């Protein structure tokens, strides 16, 4: 009896859970407890690779299946995707290994081993005959080639044009860079870079944030002395710029209204030179624990993790407020490829309603003359410009948009348009897709 390949079996379980509404990141983190580093890397590769290329894989598989694979059971569908991903994208995995392990998985899950074996072998024999969607069907072509849902492709083509939309889609299918932010309470970028290089890490400085370092290659971050000493936080360059836009001053009272896991809250504390108060508000008690852990490691003692609902929280008056609002996450799909498959246009609408409630409530906590930054990691106007416009025309008539460029590093100022809106897309695709706006409360 052939034993099941455990890493592939774990990857299959994760893909099935994601299709049922789960999230890949915590499932992969949980799996790390049961596998060594090599197997963990393989699980990460085939799970993310399959999710990143799912529409393309389905298109190819349907060329060789008697019925659309979406009509079969989820176990069989994901076994086929896993097998096809290894065959088409991983040169180091022999085709025989991909097919045989998929067939063995199908004996245990789905019970359609003959179908799986036959389809994958047929794919191997005829892979050179696979044709891409016709050029005259741009939405289908882009959706398949870059594995994004058609509804999102249609939106981006309409908004940006086919060329820019294709660049966005292509960038989303690249692995996201690993970027860290220097903890200026303890060190500076030059000293941190030297310490990392001394431990075998290959680094380069980011282009827009003077506090960012990209990790090109090296050991696991948690094993590095600078990590253990609290010299840095993992945080994309775009997120770093959002905190800089708020520009809190030492001794001010600041509210970070949706704070987990604490990246921006700890950055705000560093900008304030460890003086004042940063209330790090979070509704989920488990995520409050993450804020506390990160704050302790970075020694940002002025961060106060606080449980509360940002739509209802009424405690205190603040000089500065950050609303990094829950959103559809369409600006971080390269980092979370599972995010493309569990959302639709209703997600955008639902998030915009929540965002409006959070913005209205938290704006009421800003002192006269104080400032608020509203930010998201999504690309859609309904969650960004439209939320801000509705606020300013209604409950926020006592606020006005303030030019954020004086608060940003010089290289990042080109990312602000004439309306005062900060966008990292489509101009700076090396960063996550963030939106931000700084609005100031009138003094009377």
Q: What is the pLDDT of residues 239-252, one digit of tens each?
A: 999 999 999 999 99
Residue 293, Cβ neighbours under 10 Å: how many? 13
Residue 423: domain span: 237-441
The residues facing 423 across adjacent strands are: 435
- What is the rounded average pLDDT of the residues 56-67? 94
Residue 194 forms part of a structural domain? yes
Q: Are residues 404 and 312 in the same domain?
A: yes
Catalytic residues: 377
How far apart are the C-alpha atoms of 87 and 94, rounded to whole Å?
A: 8
Answer yes or no: is 1 within a domain: no
**Dihedral sign of CA atoms 23, 29, 30, 35 in order:** positive
The answer to whether residue 83 scores a pLDDT higher than 50 is yes
pLDDT at residue 135, rounded to an integer: 82
Q: Is residue 277 part of a domain?
A: yes
For the purposes of burial, counting CB atoms within 10 Å of the CB of 398, is it exposed (0-12), middle (13-18) or buried (19 or more)?
middle
Q: Which whole-number Å values give the CA distances from 276 to 53, 251, 255, 404, 444, in the listed order? A: 47, 4, 11, 22, 25
Checking if the pLDDT of 69 tops 80, the result is: yes
| Whole-number Å distance between alpha carbons of 217 and 200 | 8
Are 33 and 92 found together in one domain? Answer: yes
Q: Is the pLDDT of residue 310 over 80?
A: yes
pLDDT exceeds cutoff 80 at 269: yes
Examine the domain organization and report whether 145 and 212 are in the same domain.
no
Q: 72 and 101, same structural domain?
A: yes
Q: How far apart are CA 138 and CA 149, in angstroms?
A: 13
Q: According to the model, what pLDDT value does residue 267 have?
A: 98
Beta-strand runs (E) in 67-108? none
pTM: predicted TM-score of the whole model, two decimal places: 0.94
* Rounded CA separation 373/321 (Å): 7
163 with 299, same domain?
Answer: no
Angle at 183 between CA 180 and CA 188, to 5 degrees: 95
Domain annotation covers residue 57: yes
- Is 267 in contact with 235 (CB distance < 8 Å)? yes
Residue 1 has a CB neighbour count (10 Å cut-off) of 4
Helix, strand, coil distribution of the chain in percent, nearest 5: 50, 15, 35
Q: What pLDDT, on a 0 to 100 scale, did the predictor assign at position 390?
A: 98
Are 212 and 254 in a shared domain? Answer: no
Per DSSP, the three-state class of 25 is helix
Same domain flag for 36 and 160: no
- Look at residue 120 in the predicted model and tell me its pLDDT: 97
CB crowding 203-221: b at 16 or more within 10 Å, else e: beebebbbbbbbbeebeeb
**Residue 3 confidence (pLDDT):** 63
Give a yes or no: residue 158 inside a domain.
yes
Same domain, 257 and 391: yes
Asked if residue 213 is part of any domain, the answer here is yes
Check which CATH number belongs to the domain holding 33 and give it: 1.10.940.10
**Predicted pLDDT of residue 353:** 97
* Distance from C-alpha of 222 to C-alpha of 240, rounded to nearest angstrom: 21
| pLDDT tier, 1 (very low <50, low <70, confident <90, very high otherwise) | very low
* 307 found inside a domain: yes
**What mean pLDDT value characterizes the chain?**
95
Structure tokens at 405: 């460029």
- Separation of alpha carbons 366 and 375, rounded Å: 16
Q: Exposed, middle or buried, 3 (CB in 10 Å: 0-12/13-18/19+)?
A: exposed
| CA 358 to chain CA mean position, Å | 21
- Residues 151, 204 share a domain: no
Is 285 found in the same domain as 274?
A: yes
**Same domain assignment for residues 276 and 383:** yes
Give the domain-ending residue among 196, 214, 234.
234
CB 316 within 8 A of CB 279: yes
Residues 370-382 have pLDDT tens digits of 999 999 999 999 9
Residue reference for tokens 């108060």: 277
Q: How many CA atoms lie within 13 A of 410 on its CB side?
A: 0
Within a domain: 422: yes
Specify which residues 261 forms β-bridges with: none
Confidence band for 71, pLDDT divided at 50, 70 and 90 = very high
Antiparallel, parallel or unpaired: β 366-376 and 318-324:
parallel
Q: Kind and range of the H or E element at 320? A: strand 318-324
CA dihedral 197, 201, 207, 211 (to 10 degrees): -70
Q: What number is the average pLDDT over the span 75-95?
A: 95
Counted residue by residue, the chain has a size of: 444
Position 170 pLDDT exceeds 90: yes
In the chain, the number of structural domains is: 4
CA–CA dist 94, 57 (Å, integer): 18
Q: Please give the backbone phi and psi of residue 319, each rounded to the nearest 5 degrees, phi first.
A: -70, -40
Residue 241 and residue 204 share a domain: no
Strands 178-182 and 212-217 come out as antiparallel
Query: Closest by alpha carbon to 435, among 443, 419, 444?
Result: 419
Q: What is the CATH number of the domain that holds 214?
A: 3.30.70.1170
> Which of the listed residues 214, 234, 254 is the one where a domain comes to its end?
234
Q: What is the CATH number of the domain that holds 251?
A: 3.40.50.150
């Amino acid at each position: 009896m052939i034993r099941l390949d455990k890493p592939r079996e774990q990857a299959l379980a994760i893909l099935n859970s994601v299709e049922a509404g789960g999230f890949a990141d915590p499932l992969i983190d949980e799996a790390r407890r049961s596998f060594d580093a090599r197997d963990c890397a393989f699980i990460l590769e085939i799970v993310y690779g399959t999710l990143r290329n799912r529409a393309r894989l389905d298109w190819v598989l349907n060329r060789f299946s008697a019925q659309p694979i979406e009509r079969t059971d989820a176990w069989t569908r994901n076994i086929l995707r896993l097998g096809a991903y290894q065959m088409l994208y991983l040169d180091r995995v022999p085709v025989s290994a991909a097919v045989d392990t998929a067939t063995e998985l199908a004996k245990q899950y789905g019970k359609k081993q003959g179908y799986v074996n036959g389809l994958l072998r047929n794919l191997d024999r005829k892979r050179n005959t696979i044709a891409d969607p016709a050029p005259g069907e741009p939405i289908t072509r882009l959706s398949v080639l870059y594995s994004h849902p058609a509804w999102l492709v249609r939106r981006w083509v309409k908004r940006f044009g086919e060329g820019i939309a294709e660049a966005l889609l292509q960038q989303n299918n690249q692995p996201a860079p690993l970027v860290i932010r220097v903890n200026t309470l303890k060190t500076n970028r030059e000293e941190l870079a030297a310490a990392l290089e001394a431990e075998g890490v290959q680094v380069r400085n980011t282009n827009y944030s003077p506090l960012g370092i990209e990790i090109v290659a090296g050991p696991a971050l948690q094993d590095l002395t600078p990590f253990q000493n609290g010299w840095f936080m993992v945080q994309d360059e775009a997120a770093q710029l959002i905190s800089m836009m708020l520009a809190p001053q030492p001794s001010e009272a600041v509210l970070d209204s949706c704070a987990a896991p604490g990246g921006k809250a700890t950055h705000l504390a560093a900008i304030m030179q460890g003086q004042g108060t940063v209330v790090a508000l979070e509704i989920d008690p488990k995520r409050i624990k993450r804020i506390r852990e990160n704050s302790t490691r970075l020694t940002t003692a002025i961060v106060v993790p606080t449980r509360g609902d940002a739509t209802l929280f009424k405690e205190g008056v603040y000089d500065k407020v950050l609303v990094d609002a829950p959103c559809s996450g369409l600006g971080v799909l390269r980092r979370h490829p599972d995010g493309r498959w569990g959302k639709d246009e209703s997600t955008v609408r639902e998030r915009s309603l929540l965002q409006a409630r959070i913005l209205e409530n938290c704006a009421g906590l800003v002192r006269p003359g104080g400032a608020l930054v509203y930010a998201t990691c999504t690309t859609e106007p309904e969650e960004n410009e439209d939320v801000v416009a509705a606020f300013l025309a209604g409950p926020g008539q006592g606020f006005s948009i303030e030019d954020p460029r004086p608060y940003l590093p010089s290289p990042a100022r080109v990312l602000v348009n004439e309306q005062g809106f900060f966008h990292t897309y489509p101009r700076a695709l090396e960063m996550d897709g963030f939106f931000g706006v700084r609005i100031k409360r009138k003094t009377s």
